[in-house]
Structure 1
Amino acid sequence: MLQACLNGNRKRGFHPAIACTPAELATDARAAIEAGAEELHVHPRGHDGEQSLEPHDVGNALLAIRESVPGVPVGISTLWDITPGGRARQAPIREWRVLPDYVSINLIEEDAPEIMALMIRRGIGIEAGLWSVADALRFVALPSAERCLRILVEINEQDIEAGLHVARDILAVIRNAGLDLPILLHGADRTMWPIHEEALKRGLDRRIGLEDGVTLPDGKLAADNAELLRMAVSLAGQA
């Protein structure tokens, strides 16, 4: 599976094609799917352009995307730092009326099990985000681990060899725990394409998009998410 991560917490200064408004997300989503993406991961924004978990912002983004690409699974972030931040962000999450197909929950965050329980009660899929071996060990010990949609192995290290080492150690924890869940492996910025190649080698799910980086494998600036995704599709065909 190839997932498109359209915007993340990136600002327009990072890349002019970053989608912020519901209309921009809808247009970008359609281009991403036409380029080869199968699922979408987005960070809804408020009127100020900042990430938002408020029900109206989440609903507006999801409705616009679903009108543009009906039937395509759409996930959003529950990142600890999104206003109002910390455990307080659980309040707007509880008020969602338009629901995403899944959410990403980072196991490094102290209330991750609480957010997971909330999503299970609401019938929303969970991508369990693992940044480290410590995250992986915490995750596999949770009774709710097997109820997740997939495991999201996220490599934040910028040294390529260090990032590959962390990825292999996290995957070993998952394997040793005997969890039979899909695994999506991705890097960011300097490690985006090397980790993408590792995911291809291992037959794992992948993601690409401006949230994770702006350059093509040759170092050139990508025009937009669609160009990044077309490259990912091409690399998969070569593999």
Structure 2
Amino acid sequence: MSGSDTTGRDPEGGSGGAASRVPLQVALNGGREAAEGAAVPMSPQDLARSAVASVAAGAREVLVHPRSPCGRESLSPRVVGPLLEALRGAGVSVPLSVPAAVAAEPDPAARQARVRSWEVLPDRGVVRFTDPGAEELGLALLARGVAVDAVVPLGGTAGPEPLGRFLAWAGPDHGRVRLAVELSEADPALVAGLCWLPPVEVVLFGREAAAWPVLRLAARCGAGARIGVGDVLVLPDGRPARSNADLVAAAVAEVEASRAARVAGAARATVGSR
């Protein structure tokens, strides 16, 4: 799904079944704390093991929040670099994303300085367009050769300002900018208007109760999707997830079920029109 296509096409690419038809990103840790359960990986070694298992289960991208030894989110090159190297050293070859977030560095100018100081670069940097200085931060990432995921919330209490900021910015290189839409609920009306966006790829995701319904909506739309303990700690049936790989495997099954239902529906419509 790009900004010009919300009709439910199946993007192809990668290798490996349903996860290749709907690009699936795993959110390894997010803002979770260790106290939230054993499924939350914290150390670089645990994150690397979780990433490897998630990719084996069907994830095609990895989103990771770097943390200092005391558990605080950090954009320091002394934290970001070793974590990325640990993931690559463990054999994770899919794209790696790192959020350049307020939680890691509240000051906009300092966030840009941190990005410019990175010695080991992620494939993508995540920028929330609710944050001050998002536009400048996105340009700083692009200048380093890092692609940008522009996060825009829709629904709930989210107003139109973040999407308006993204549209006004739009990025100088659509090929290296992607829109990550955080939905408060799986309402097709929230994404129907995305067809008039610039020609950028779109990822849909939700958190907690919205995570699984939004993933199914993404599968129906042919958009990129996201799952992982950074977003939700339970499986579709409400059971606690044992790991990120557990969530990814369930997501692949959900995506495949959505695709099969869509194909069956199209076949019935074709027969009915004869």
Superposition TM-score, scaled by structure 2 size: 0.79
* Structure-2 separation of matches of 1:5 and 1:31: 13
Residue 36 of structure 2 aligns to a residue whose secondary structure is: coil
Does the C-alpha gap of structure 1 residues 70 and 31 become closer, same or farther in structure 2, counting only changes over 3 Å? closer
The structure 1 residue matched to 2:237, chosen from 204, 208, 218, is: 218
Pairing 1:202–2:230 present: no
**Equivalent in the alignment of 1:134:** 161
Matched, 1:168 2:158: no
Please tell me whether the aligned partners of residues 22 and 61 of structure 1 are also in contact (alpha carbons under 8 angstroms): yes
| Distance (Å, rounded) in 1 between the aligned partners of 2:81 and 2:246 | 27
1:187 counterpart = 2:206: yes
2:204–2:225 Cα contact (<8 Å) kept: yes
- In the TM superposition, what is the alpha-carbon distance from 1:111 to its structure 2 partner? 0.3
Offset of 1:236 from its aligned partner?
A: 1.5
**Relative to structure 1, is the Cα distance of residues 208 and 14 closer, same or farther in structure 2, using a 3 angstrom cutoff?**
same
1:9-158 matches, cutoff 5 A: 9-83=31-105, 85-132=107-154, 133-144=160-171, 146=174, 148-155=176-183, 157=184
**Worse overlay, 99-108 or 67-76:** 67-76
1:205–1:140 CA distance, 2 compared to 1 (3 A): same
Which protein is bigger by CA-based radius of gyration? 2
Structure 1 Cα separation of the partners of residues 97 and 170 of structure 2: 23
Matches of 1:78 and 1:171 in 2, distance apart?
28
Cα distance change of structure 1 residues 76 and 110 upon mapping to structure 2, 3 Å threshold: same
Distance 1:51 1:210 in 2: 16
Higher relative contact order (CA 8 A, sep 6+): 2
Given that 2:171 and 2:177 are in contact with CA atoms closer than 8 Å, whether structure 1 keeps it comes out as: no
Question: How far apart are the structure 2 equivalents of 1:190 and 1:199?
Answer: 15
| 1:79 shift after superposition | 1.1
Q: Could you tell me how far 1:232 is from its partner in structure 2? A: 0.5
Report the 3-state secondary structure (helix = DSSP H, G, I; strand = E; otherwise coil) of the residue aligned with 1:131: strand
Contact residue 130 and residue 136 of structure 1 kept, 8 A: yes
Change in Cα spacing, 1:236 to 1:110, as seen in structure 2 (3 Å) is same
Opposite residue 165 of structure 2, the aligned amino acid is: R
1:26-63, CA deviations, whole angstroms, 9 ceiling, x for partnerless residues?
11110110111011000011010111100010001100
Does the CA contact (< 8 Å) of 2:129 and 2:165 recur in 1?
Answer: yes
Q: Secondary structure at the match of 1:19?
A: coil
Give the Cα separation in 2 of the matches to 1:64 and 1:12. 20
Computed over aligned residues only, the root mean square deviation of the Cα atoms, in angstroms, reads 1.6
Describe the superposition over 1:110-148 as per-residue Cα deviations: whole angstroms up to 9, x where unpaired.
200110110111110000101133211211121526354
Indicate if the aligned counterparts of 1:32 and 1:225 stay in contact, CA closer than 8 A: yes
- Note the C-alpha offset of 1:19: 1.5
Q: Which runs of 5+ in 2 are unaligned?
A: 1-22, 155-159, 259-274
Number of residue-to-residue matches in the alignment: 230
**For 2:200 and 2:63, how far apart are their aligned partners in 1?**
19
Q: Deviations over 1:81-131 (max 9, x none)?
A: 213544323222221000000011011112001101101111100001011
Report the AA paired with residue 16 of structure 1.
A
> In the alignment, is the contact (CA less than 8 A) between 1:105 and 1:129 conserved in 2?
yes
